[in-house]
Amino acid sequence: MAVSPARTAAFEILLRVERQGSYAAELLHSAPFSKLSSRDHRLLTELVMGVLRWQSLLDERLVAASSQKIERLDVEVLAALRLGVYQLQFLSHIPSRAAIFESVELVKTGRKRSASSFVNAVLRRIASSGAQDRTKDRAEDSFAKISSASDSATLARNSANPAWLVVRWSAHYGFEIARTICAWNQTIPATSIHIHDNQTELELAAAQIQLAPGRLLSSARRVLSGDVTVTRAFREGRISIQDEASQLVALLAGCGEAVTDGAILDCCAAPGGKTVLLARRNPRAKVFATELHPHRAHLLRNLTRVPNVQVVAADAGRLPFAATFDRILADVPCSGTGTLSRNPEIKWKLKLEDLADLQSRQIAILKSALAQLSSGGRLVYSTCSLEPEENEAVVEAALSSTAGFAVADLKTELKQLRQSGELASAVDIASLLAGPYLRTIPGVHPCDGFFAALIRRR
């Protein structure tokens, strides 16, 4: 009997995440898996993201049931085991025999046939020990355990978040907010989009895409049902899939009077959602979008498709422009700890020492961008990180050695967005601010965790 297409695809994606450092969300929407039926693709997404979100808890069950140390297992064997345990522990609608049989078959297709009896024995042991619990909602039970945790170590274990991150979040934001972040990281995030013209929303409704206004931004839309990626509007670039906090950062960069005869720089532009938003809000400005890798710059050209955007393959740490820019957006590469509900694999890749390396690059990019800012111009520095080393510390380090710049309070810009109707009326502006900076927190706010600073040149 052949393994189901969804489980075969899930196995392949998990292996690529483990071996190549790929991002699961990008792979799930890539061409090789686009031909799966909608039912198979839903199961594929559930399996991949579920395994990655709950990986440490799955491994804990494997350690208890295995005669071998899991760190010594081949990646193919471990991926098959995790898929099996996830189905046994979290998906009560899937028969145990199917979860076990197909995991065994996956090991064989992964050319690890000699491990098939081991996989079979481990999964049968787990299935037998948890047979009485298969009717329970294991996700609900897991969230109950998150709510009952009374210390960082227990919270980390129960929520399948790395202990070192939970300790940091507790120290920076307080234990209750750390609990909120951990719970949010284990949920399925909403799909948010930005619509670039008035007619497209009607077109999406006709295509049975049900939308609702954003919870953070009234100008954003949440997808309640339907798949926007199969629509003509998505293929033609008339909508962008973009978290509401990410949209907010682009709006802050574009606040104030539209740039008419000047130029705007998005110096870390991929995947392009912020670039398009900036370009459409400033149609008479020339928008330059830089991307380090030529192949990503090529993709960016195809994705933006806006007349006033020019894509340049360049290192943001050594920008090649002779001219200066009226506005600059520096949404820099970062750890991504504000996006763990969408990118759960980050939890298992990131190390504390990575933050110092990221900070060095971020300071270099910010200094390079500041050098390109016109007199009287404004620059927005942003990350999707919760870590102070990548946020306030970068701004302070860059400005400490660079004269003629000052941090501006973003409260004024947020009030402008409220007055224009773009910021949702129910959102408390004070909750979005950490001193002069923007700070969204997953779960506290209905979006990813973002940081932004507005810097002006005197």
Q: Which positions are catalytic?
A: 384
Give the separation between CA 21 and CA 14, rounded to whole angstroms: 10
Cis peptide before 333 (omega within 30 of 0): no
Long-range contacts: 12-19, Cβ < 8 Å, 24+?
13/44, 13/48, 14/48, 14/51, 14/52, 14/79, 14/82, 14/83, 15/75, 15/76, 15/79, 15/110, 17/52, 17/345, 18/75, 18/78, 18/79, 19/75
Amino acid symbol at 269:
A
- In the Cβ-directed half-sphere of 430, how many Cα atoms lie within 13 Å? 0
Instruction: Please answer whether residues 450 and 384 qualify as being in contact, where contact means their C-beta atoms are separated by less than 8 angstroms.
Output: yes
Alpha helices in 387-433 (DSSP H): 392-400, 411-419
Could you tell me which of 304, 287, 307 has the C-alpha nearest to residue 296? 304
8-state DSSP, 381: E
Give the separation between CA 119 and CA 436, rounded to whole angstroms: 54
Strands 405-408 and 191-195: unpaired
277-313 b/e with 16+ CB inside 10 Å = b? bbbbbbeebbbbbbbeeeebbebbbebbebebbebbb
Instruction: Please answer whether residues 456 and 410 qualify as being in contact, where contact means their C-beta atoms are separated by less than 8 angstroms.
Output: no
Give the separation between CA 417 and CA 412, rounded to whole angstroms: 9
Which SS3 state, helix, strand or coil, does residue 304 take? Answer: helix
